Amino acid sequence: MINYPYEKEMLEKFSKNSKIVGIIFLLLGIAGIFFPAIMSLAAAIFVGWLLLFSGFLAAFHTYQTDKKNWLGWLKAFVFLVTGGLIIVNPLPGVAALGIIFAVYFLMDAFGSFALSFEMKPLKGWWVVLLNGILSLLLAFIFLIGWPFSSLWLVGLFVGISLLFDGVVLLTLSHYAKKMEKEDK
């Protein structure tokens, strides 16, 4: 067994906060799985707000550093307009997230294929190949129905991710509580 240095107060705080956030993530994940269209719209609006905030930061930075830097102002303008458009009309943002997911899964598939063929004589190479095949399948699922399938796929995948994040946090909270009891 590996002994990790830890403090009792830190474990208590971590256990409590992980449990709270884990339950919230679990509930959000379940909601995303059962209501994927709503989760897709929420994800797109969240990305829109991130872009809007980035636009304000880019404008502030350009103003503070070089007011004549037209590329800095252009960057801020593009962020602000894109973020504002996604917030006002999130459906194109959902479609954009769908194509981003498709490209991600394609890249993951190609990377997994390359790695599995490099590993081929070693044990377990087939698991990496299987990961590549599944990623390729997910990419095709996104691409076949794009942009319309994005409305439910983005929310479903975000929901599944949040569900698993919640499970992980609750598990870590449980183990932190155990470590805390062992310390006594």
Q: Please enumerate in sequence order all residues whose Cβ is within 8 A of that of 40, keeping only pairs 6 or more positions apart, or say none.
A: 94, 97, 150, 151, 152, 153, 154, 155, 158
Q: What is the pLDDT of residue 95?
A: 92
Would you say residue 71 lies in a domain?
no
Residue 61 lies in a domain: no
Question: Is 139 within the bounds of a domain?
Answer: yes
Residue 54 lies in a domain: no
* Domain that residue 21 falls in: 10-37+90-183
What helix, strand, coil percent values describe the chain, rounded to 5?
A: 85, 0, 15
Which pairs from 96-101 meet CB under 8 Å and 24+ separation? 96/44, 97/40, 97/43, 97/44, 97/47, 97/150, 97/154, 98/142, 98/146, 98/147, 98/149, 98/150, 98/153, 98/154, 99/142, 99/146, 99/147, 99/150, 101/138, 101/142, 101/150, 101/153, 101/154, 101/157
Whether 4 maps to a domain, the answer reads no
The per-residue pLDDT for 1 is 46
Domain annotation covers residue 21: yes
Please give the pLDDT value at position 135.
Answer: 86
Residue 79 domain-assigned (yes or no)? no
* pLDDT tens for the chain, residues 1 to 184: 445 546 777 778 888 888 999 999 999 999 999 999 999 999 999 999 999 999 999 999 999 999 999 999 999 999 999 999 999 999 999 999 999 989 988 998 999 899 888 888 877 788 888 988 988 998 898 899 888 888 889 898 888 888 888 888 888 888 777 776 666 5
pTM value is 0.73
Q: What is the pLDDT of residue 59?
A: 96
How many distinct structural domains can be found in the chain? 1
Tell me, yes or no, whether 128 lies in a domain. yes
